[in-house]
């Protein structure tokens, strides 16, 4: 996201302030839309709310990353205790948002494959989205208190030094245990392998190859790709959170994360749209499908390449 900051003459704090409105305000809109759709039993609105929750979860990735980058910008002129408290809240909110987005995508997958969303999934998405909304509001309020003195509680006492919290405990756990970092990288690359393996098969079908395979057969493999994405995301963010400046200093890291978010959003095309679902054995894919297949393949290749180059460019 550094190229975005340079384009608009902003620093990481500016970019973070812009981005954090999307998951915060969006979580409230998505939750309200989901509740309304379920009460009215409106399937199309329910699908829209699930799509929105998934996109918000993906936007939470650059929001979290730019937040860590913004710390180096504001730490010299802000209360360290407030910054650390905000980081702790952000970790919890990010995890909840990721879980909500995953459950929402699973609901979309079920809706396409089985013509309906399972009751347990609806309950899970409703519960997670409500808890996530509360966490996002809590995190956003604490973030606002860092720069806006006027919204702090009257008589609020700020400690002179920040106490070790959840974020500090995670950093210490990763850095103080020699086995955690290699284990995290192993999980990260394992998840990427699962994701890319399924993506290759799906995209080959989208560009017009493997025509003997109906797309419905490949559709059932998508949960494996999402599971791989989740494993890679959790392990990657754990490593990033332990030493963010190592990654922030590498320009290609932000390009990797940008391409990752865009490629992940395009997964919606093969999840909910009719064009791909209707591809039977021998059918030629439409032009849009072929274009998306080529684009997403290139994006995932770039994600792998830029990620692999981080140790050589830092």
Tell me the pLDDT tens digit for each residue of 111-124.
888 888 888 999 99
Q: Which ranges constitute the DSSP H helices of the chain? A: 2-7, 12-19, 21-40, 43-74, 80-114, 119-147, 166-176, 180-206, 215-219, 222-242, 244-248, 251-265, 267-272, 274-277, 287-313
Burial class (CB in 10 A: 0-12, 13-18, 19+), 54: buried
Tens-place pLDDT, residues 111-161: 888 888 888 999 999 999 999 999 988 887 777 666 655 555 555 545 545
Tens-place pLDDT, residues 256-305: 888 999 999 988 888 888 888 888 888 888 899 999 999 999 999 999 88
Asked if 274 and 205 touch (Cβ cutoff 8 Å), the reply is no
pLDDT of residue 128: 93
pLDDT of residue 38: 87
pLDDT of residue 130: 93
Q: What is the mean pLDDT of the chain?
A: 82
pLDDT of residue 11: 65
Band (pLDDT 50/70/90 cuts) for residue 52 is very high
* The pTM of the whole model exceeds 0.95: no
Tens-place pLDDT, residues 73-111: 665 555 667 777 777 788 888 889 999 999 999 999 998
pLDDT of residue 310: 82
pLDDT of residue 225: 92
Q: Which of 146, 144, 186, 181 is nearest to 162 (CA)?
A: 146
Tens-place pLDDT, residues 227-238: 999 999 888 888
pLDDT of residue 7: 45
Nearby residues of 221 by Cβ (< 8 Å), 6 or more positions away = 198, 201, 202
Q: Tell me the domain boundaries of the chain.
A: 1-163, 165-314
Burial class (CB in 10 A: 0-12, 13-18, 19+), 245: exposed
pLDDT of residue 44: 86
């Amino acid at each position: 996201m550094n190229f975005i900051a340079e384009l608009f003459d902003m620093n990481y704090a500016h970019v973070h302030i812009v981005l954090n409105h999307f998951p915060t305000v969006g979580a409230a809109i998505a939750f309200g839309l989901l509740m309304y759709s379920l009460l009215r039993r409106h399937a199309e609105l329910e699908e829209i709310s699930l799509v929105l929750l998934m996109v918000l979860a993906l936007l939470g990735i650059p929001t979290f990353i730019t937040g860590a980058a913004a710390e180096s910008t504001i730490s010299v002129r802000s209360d360290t205790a407030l910054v650390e408290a905000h980081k702790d809240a952000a970790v919890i909110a990010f995890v909840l948002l990721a879980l909500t987005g995953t459950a929402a995508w699973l609901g979309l997958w079920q809706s396409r494959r089985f013509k309906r969303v399972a009751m347990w999934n609806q309950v899970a998405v409703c519960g997670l989205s409500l808890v996530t909304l509360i966490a996002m509001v809590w995190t956003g309020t604490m973030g606002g208190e860092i720069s806006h003195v006027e919204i702090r509680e009257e008589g609020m006492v700020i400690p002179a030094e920040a106490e070790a919290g959840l974020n500090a405990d995670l950093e210490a756990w990763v850095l103080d245990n020699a086995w955690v970092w290699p284990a995290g990288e192993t999980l990260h690359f394992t998840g990427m392998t699962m994701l890319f393996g399924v993506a290759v098969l799906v995209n080959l079908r989208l560009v017009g190859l493997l025509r003997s395979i109906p797309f419905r057969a490949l559709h059932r493999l998508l949960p494996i790709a999402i599971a791989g994405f989740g494993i890679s995301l959790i392990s990657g963010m754990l490593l990033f959170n332990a030493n963010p400046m190592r990654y922030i200093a590498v320009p290609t890291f932000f390009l990797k994360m940008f391409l990752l978010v865009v490629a992940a959003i395009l997964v919606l095309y093969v999840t909910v749209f009719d064009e791909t679902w209707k591809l039977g054995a021998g059918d030629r894919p439409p032009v849009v499908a072929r274009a998306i297949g080529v684009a997403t393949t290139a994006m995932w290749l770039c994600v792998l390449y830029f990620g692999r180059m981080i140790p050589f460019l830092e």
